[in-house]
Amino acid sequence: MSGVPGGQPPRKVPLRLADHPFFQGLDPELTAEAGRLAVERRFATGEWLVRDGDPAASFYLVYHGKVALEVATAEKPHLTIQTVGPGEVLGWSWLVSPYLWRLDARALKPTQVLAIDGARFREALAAHPERGYQFLLRLLPILAQRLENTQIQLLDIHGL
Amino acid sequence: MASDVRPSPPASSPHPLAPSPYVVRSQTTETGDTRTLVLSPADGGPVRPALPGQFNMVYVFGVGEAAISLSGDPSDSATVVHTVRDAGRITAAIAQATPGQTLGLRGPYGHGWPLEHAKGRDVVLIAGGLGLPPLRPVLYELLAHRAEYGRIEVIYGARSPKDLVYYDQIQQWRHRSDLRFQVTVDAADREWYGDVGLVTTRIPDTRVEAGNTVAFLCGPEIMMRFAARDLEARGISRASIWLSMERNMKCAVAVCGHCQFGPAFVCREGPVFRYDVVRDWLATREL
């Protein structure tokens, strides 16, 4: 429900990459490399994580909070098309040239993430193609699911 | 006829095609096009007993009748509750009925939700859009006998925040500690701080014991198809998933054939079906 912005503040314990579902079961070397490129970040309610058109320098693993993915149209300048919460991953523009964000992402409540340097992680994936392939196999089902969700949203099933 | 399709329930009206007069006691606006009507028998008597998931044929005299699910508390023997969306000439006339107006009701008809299969198990209710009203009687029943069930999870999705029905009641349910009620919408503006995404996006996060869970689904058919698939992926067996089907019901007594769905008539064998019974029919084009 709409409720009020805010909520419980994020915990102040260090975030561990291995605790995030996205990295669980992946090659330990790959996880360690991502860990070396990860920076913990906190966002206050209403703060932007990414803006449409900005360089997609990182991708985010969400541990606490909630993030709204927004697109802007002439009629609806702030249309939320999806929310991303704990255990989910935000962003793949860092993998796709020209590496620019294609939407806005805004914290709906205090949000805690690990931000992983996209450019350097791309290099790490390219240097070890087997790990890179494993990583893409982990990412692909998420992309496929979101594509399917988008298709269903386009059907406007509640209006059928 | 498939062998797992349930037999016809006994006729519940004095005459299966004769409507009884009911008076509209109140009308509540849920959304821009959806109203909830509370009715009681014009003769002051009790309402006919009904099971969660059954439906009535609601008749606006001189206009026509439509099949509308029961959406009130099944323990209430004094009133009948129907939530109706204005989706055409007849449903518009029903939705616009005002207090004091007399409507004709016949029913209840059909097979309801199999609550007997939910006893002692975790329960997942998934509703899309106007799929929540047919599931609300289930929730009343589960909460009235809370100790008899395991975890209860409700996932309710709508097109937008302004399309949510029972808004105030949902707020109360969301504050209960013995129930997890998730709401998600397909798209929203900045006034909305809740989840955005399809109901299916919430299924992996359900905190139930998959091998001991039943799931009841009601909403757009395509939503139920994807939700049932994802519930299976979550480990819930096909035989533990139930769907409420919607077809063009006219006579409600399995005579006219308008609601035929594969080898079944939805008015008689449904509207609630077990997923493993209808799964192949759902995948059949133009059925």
Residue B166 has pLDDT above 90, yes or no: yes
Q: What is the pLDDT of residues A68-79, one digit of tens each?
A: 999 988 787 789
Mean pLDDT of the A90-110 span: 95
Q: What is the pLDDT of residues B50-79, one digit of tens each?
A: 999 999 999 999 999 999 999 999 999 999
B131 with B34: CB under 8 angstroms?
Answer: no
In a domain, A45, yes or no: yes
Q: Looking at chain A, which residue has its C-alpha nearest residue B166?
A: A1
Mean pLDDT of the B220-239 span: 94
In a domain, A115, yes or no: yes
Helix axes A129-155, B221-233, angle to 10 degrees: 150
Residue A68: CATH number of its domain: 2.60.120.10
The three-class DSSP label of residue A116 is strand
Residue A6 has pLDDT above 60, yes or no: no
The three-class DSSP label of residue B154 is strand
Mean pLDDT of the A34-55 span: 95
Choosing among 3.40.50.2300, 3.30.300.10, 1.20.120.160, 3.40.50.80, the CATH entry for B115-282 is 3.40.50.80
CA-nearest of B231, B239, B284, B241 to B261 is: B284
Residue A44 has pLDDT above 60, yes or no: yes
pTM recorded for the entire structure: 0.88
| Candidate from A92-96, B114-118, B266-270 with smallest mean pLDDT | B266-270
CA-nearest of B53, B55, B46 to B76 is: B46
Measured CA to CA, the distance from residue B65 to residue B19 in angstroms comes to 10
The per-residue pLDDT for A4 is 38
H, E, C per residue of A19-60: HCCCCCCCCHHHHHHHHHCEEEEEECCCCEEECCCCECCEEE
Q: What is the pLDDT of residues B21-53, one digit of tens each?
A: 999 999 999 999 999 999 999 999 999 899 999
Residue B4 has pLDDT above 70, yes or no: no
The per-residue pLDDT for B282 is 83
Question: Mean pLDDT of all residues in chain A?
Answer: 89
Distance from CA of A16 to the nearest CA of B (A): 21
Angle at B101 between CA B97 and CA B102, to 5 degrees: 110
The DSSP output letter for B111 is: B
B133: cis peptide before it, omega within 30°? no
In a domain, A97, yes or no: yes
The per-residue pLDDT for A159 is 62
Contact (CB<8Å) B193/A153: no
Please state the domain count of chain A: 1
The per-residue pLDDT for B130 is 94
Query: Is A158 an 8 Å CB contact of chain B?
Result: yes
Residue type, B74: P
Measured CA to CA, the distance from residue A93 to residue B137 in angstroms comes to 45
Contact (CB<8Å) B170/A1: yes
Domain housing A120 = 17-159
In a domain, A6, yes or no: no
Among B31, B165, B183, B196, the strongest candidate for a mutation testing the A interface, having the largest count of A CBs within 10 A, is B196
Query: Is A90 an 8 Å CB contact of chain B?
Result: no
Task: Give the strand pairing for B102-109 and B55-60.
Answer: antiparallel
CA-nearest of B224, B230, B258 to B244 is: B224
The three-class DSSP label of residue B238 is helix
CA–chain centroid gap for B135, Å, is 4
CA–chain centroid gap for B29, Å, is 18
Mean pLDDT of the A124-138 span: 95
Q: Please give the ipTM for the structure prediction.
A: 0.82
Question: Mean pLDDT of all residues in chain B?
Answer: 91
Residue boundaries of the structural domains of chain B: 20-109, 115-282
The per-residue pLDDT for B7 is 53
Strand order in the sheet with B102-109: B64-69, B55-60, B102-109, B20-29, B34-41, B80-85
Partner residue facing A1 (CB), from B171, B187, B220 = B171
Query: Is A146 an 8 Å CB contact of chain B?
Result: no
In a domain, A51, yes or no: yes
| A90 against B251, higher pLDDT | A90
The per-residue pLDDT for A1 is 55
Q: What is the pLDDT of residues A19-33, one digit of tens each?
A: 899 999 999 999 999
The per-residue pLDDT for A3 is 40
In a domain, A25, yes or no: yes
CA distances for A92 relative to A29, A48, A79, B200, angstroms: 21, 17, 20, 21
Q: If one looks up domain B20-109 in CATH, what number appears?
A: 2.40.30.10
The per-residue pLDDT for B5 is 58
Long-range contacts formed by A21-28: CB under 8 A, 24+ apart: A21/A87, A22/A61, A22/A87, A22/A88, A22/A89, A22/A138, A23/A61, A26/A134, A26/A135, A26/A138, A27/A131, A27/A134
CA-nearest of B87, B39, B104 to B252 is: B104
Where residue B267 falls among pLDDT bands split at 50, 70, 90? confident
